Structure 1
């Protein structure tokens, strides 16, 4: 693999997956700028804000299932294959896309329609330029942190201090990447090498 990204060397804060992925994108921009065009940030959510994923470290279940309001992963697609970088999974880091989908995302057929996942796929360069979060979504009504925030300052752009809800939302395009259902997501990244 031409990306030497080690899990133990990656910036990680529990419950801040979007910032973990932003930091990963930023690291690749600095270390492998010629590879950034092969990288994607993927927000997984739905209109109900309830998406089941399996093989998650935060789970207390044997199968690792967690129902998140949203989750964010990083994809690297240099050629016919795709790798998933998920700092919250118990699977390998990185993980082959096909294995990750089979074990962590699974099929929508086993889920009620309200739990079907949608995927907002954003090129890494675009994500770095446009994403901003003041972390207010992690505050309770009385101003307490639901989970301790990262030690570094909040991510912002020159134009914006907080637009995370536009990325989590699956109701419209919001000019951030493209929204795909599971079938479209698999078709985009599950590239077969057995073409004749």
Structure 2
């Protein structure tokens, strides 16, 4: 079934490889500017763990059915009416968007058969909070000699009045750090697949 997008088509989204946090920031900004959905229905999801080694399947950079091991990854979740949750992942080989049910079974899968060192945690940040607080000077993408590991986006770095760089606070899965709420994979899926949208925003 074709899903109704609240963003431009995948081909028309701002996208820079290896800058998933900024790609999602631009998606949130687009929704806010174009008013295609209430911002309170949107959540930015950082996927990582203490070891910064998390597998995701069905990624465009993957080979066959092998997972890609990211240090972290960022996706956008839209919790719409009737708790209809859609995932926007510009790095996924799945449709854009796709249902959370499909993303869960195809891309996230389960931690139960995975070495505990690779178990996923998810930091869920309301989109308005992400737009207000996120900052990155892109220093994490520079080599010691100052060259880029991967070419940066063409627009200026994202910063706030208070911060030039706080990406690590979003990647961290310490619930005492940063913004939003931290879940393990089972908790996240229970919350956003089974609970109501109002519960998800509390």
CA contact (8 A) 1:43 1:168 kept: yes
In the alignment, is the contact (CA less than 8 A) between 1:36 and 1:125 conserved in 2? yes
Task: Name the residue aligned to 1:176.
Answer: 179
Deviations 1:40-89 (A, max 9, x none): 10000000000000000112x21151000000000000122100000000
Count of residue pairs the alignment pairs up: 192
Aligned counterparts of 1:171 and 1:177: Cα–Cα separation in 2: 11
1:143 CA drift (Å) = 1.5
In 2: Cα distance, 1:123 partner to 1:14 partner:
24
Match of residue 71 from structure 1: 73
1:9 lines up with 2:12 in the alignment = yes
Gaps of 5+ in 1: none
In structure 2, what is the Cα distance between the partners aligned to 1:34 and 1:66?
Answer: 31
Report the Cα distance in structure 2 between the residues aligned to 1:9 and 1:48, rounded to whole angstroms.
34
Q: Distance in 1 between matches of 2:88 and 2:10?
A: 9
- CA positional deviation for 1:184: 1.0
Q: CA deviation at 1:142?
A: 1.7
**TM-score using structure 1 length:** 0.93
Displacement after TM superposition at 1:3 (Å):
2.2
Match of 1:81 in 2: 84
Q: Aligned-pair distance for 1:32?
A: 1.4
Aligned match for 1:115, one of 115, 118, 121: 118
Describe how 1:1-196 pairs up with structure 2 within 5 A.
Answer: 1=4, 3-32=6-35, 35-59=38-62, 61-79=63-81, 80-191=83-194
Superposition CA RMSD, Å: 1.6
The gaps in structure 2 that reach 5 residues or longer are 197-202
Cα 1:153–1:2, aligned 2, differ >3 Å: closer, same or farther? closer
Comparing 39-48 and 181-190, the one that deviates more: 181-190
Question: SS in structure 1 opposite 2:74?
Answer: strand
* 4+ residue segments displaced more than 4 Å: none
CA distance in 1, matches of 2:84, 2:194: 6
> What is the TM-score of this pair, normalised by structure 2?
0.91
**Structure-2 separation of matches of 1:62 and 1:34:** 35
Whether the 8 Å CA contact 1:58–1:64 is kept in 2: the answer is no
